[in-house]
Amino acid sequence: MDTARAHEEFLRTRIFPGLDGLRCLSIVLVVAYHVSGLHSGFVGRGYLGVSLFFGISGFLITSLLLREHDSHGQISLGRFYGRRALRIFPLYYAVLSAYVVLTLLFERSTMERADFFANLPAFLTYTSNWFVPLEPDKRIIFYFAWSLATEEQFYLMWPGVMRAAHRWGAVFFMTGLLAISLWAPWAVQTERLDDSLLSVRILASFSPTICMGCLAAYALHSPRGFAWVYRALGQRWVPVLMMALVLLAVGTNGTPYWLTSMLMAALVVSSCIRTDHFLLPVLTLRPIRYVGMISYGVYLMHMIALNLVRRAAPGQGFAVNFPLTLALSVLMAGLSYRYFESRFLRLKEKLAAGPSQPKASPAPSPAPASSPTP
């Protein structure tokens, strides 16, 4: 297929069927990491699954907004923020409320309880990635919200930049943000910057994978950029190779984070640049798609599920705790998606900006037919 025709097909594609499968991989890695308690090896580096979520978010949100601009001549910030609020806020604040109740009931007279309520303003305002530092070997209740704060800050900032700036201006802005996202954590690690300063923590909180996903969306939206990327990532076997390389990078201690981020962004792009690639039959298996579709709920509830499993079956190892935690998380998230989130998702669909928006795969029956964007 020539690149011009492939580009036309890409721009007409409203459903990227492989994205829910990638979300499934992401959430399974994260759950495995938290269950294991390890900090090395494949499972011990499962926290990197969050970076794959970030890459999907950057690519999909930017593609959506570029297509909205092409269809309507502008980006509606009101519709965008309305859709994001309906997708994210109801479940987030419901789960955070549950954590407040559970902490009051089961964390009596503990340091963790005091820390949780001290950190609650940051959790409520999506700023925990700035104000709740991770300390070695210290249990921090609801700490995983740092990644949701990172995404919410991206949602808050990026559409306005895209709307206000010329396309090249937005690209230059995101390129600069990518450079900061790679440099600042290194500068903190090598003590060239003091992470006790709020400004430094903010600089170090940007995600390079989000930035790469955004830049990839801009590249694929233009004919020239698409032609270049298609030559590199457009073969049907490339997603299989990218998946293998991502898994290898995750499982190899010492893999540079910039390299892992780049491979994850390439996996997302190669899975979306065409919809007939060799990895697609795996990514679109019904159970995998379903877990990916409800992955937001799984992420929010998996630590509750893990604690329930540990109380119900004390003393068990990873081989027991992981499948039970994953199964319980999927059950809880599935019930939430069908009976709670679906009410807000129907409202979200009414705010859809237009017919050219890319989406993840549609929800398998019997769930509502709206697949959540990241």
User: Does the residue 180 lie in any domain?
Assistant: yes
CA gap 184, 192 in Å, rounded: 9
CA gap 198, 279 in Å, rounded = 42
Residue 358 pLDDT level (bands cut at 50, 70, 90) = low
Question: In which band, very low, low, confident or very high, does the pLDDT at 172 lie, cut at 50, 70 and 90?
Answer: very high
Residue 370 is assigned to a structural domain of this protein? no
What is the rounded CA–CA span in Å between residue 204 and residue 183?
Answer: 8
For 184-200, the pLDDT digits (tens) are: 999 999 999 999 999 99
How many whole angstroms separate alpha carbon 25 and alpha carbon 285? 12
User: 211: domain range?
Assistant: 3-360
Per-residue pLDDT band for 2 (boundaries 50, 70, 90) equals confident
Provide mean pLDDT across the span 304-310: 97
Q: Is residue 372 part of a domain?
A: no
Tokens of residue 172, six digits: 């230059």
Reduced to 3 states (helix: H, G, I; strand: E, B; else coil), residue 317 is: coil
CA 334 to mean position of chain CA atoms: 18
Q: Is 365 inside any structural domain?
A: no
- DSSP letters for 186-201: HHHHTTSS-TTSHHHH
Number of domains in the chain: 1
Is 48 a member of any domain? Answer: yes
Q: In this structure, is residue 236 part of a structural domain?
A: yes
Residue 367 resides in a domain: no
What are φ and ψ of residue 116, in 5° steps?
-60, -50
Q: In the Cβ-directed half-sphere of 214, how many Cα atoms lie within 13 Å?
A: 28
Within 8 A by CB and 6+ apart from 220, the residues are: 7, 10, 63, 226, 229, 269, 272, 273
Beta-strand (E) ranges in the chain? 15-16, 359-360
Note the pLDDT of residue 359. 54
- Place 352 in a pLDDT band, splitting at 50, 70 and 90: low
Q: Which of 213, 218, 324, 202 is nearest to 262 (CA)?
A: 213
Question: Is the separation of the CB atoms in 20 and 371 below 8 Å?
Answer: yes
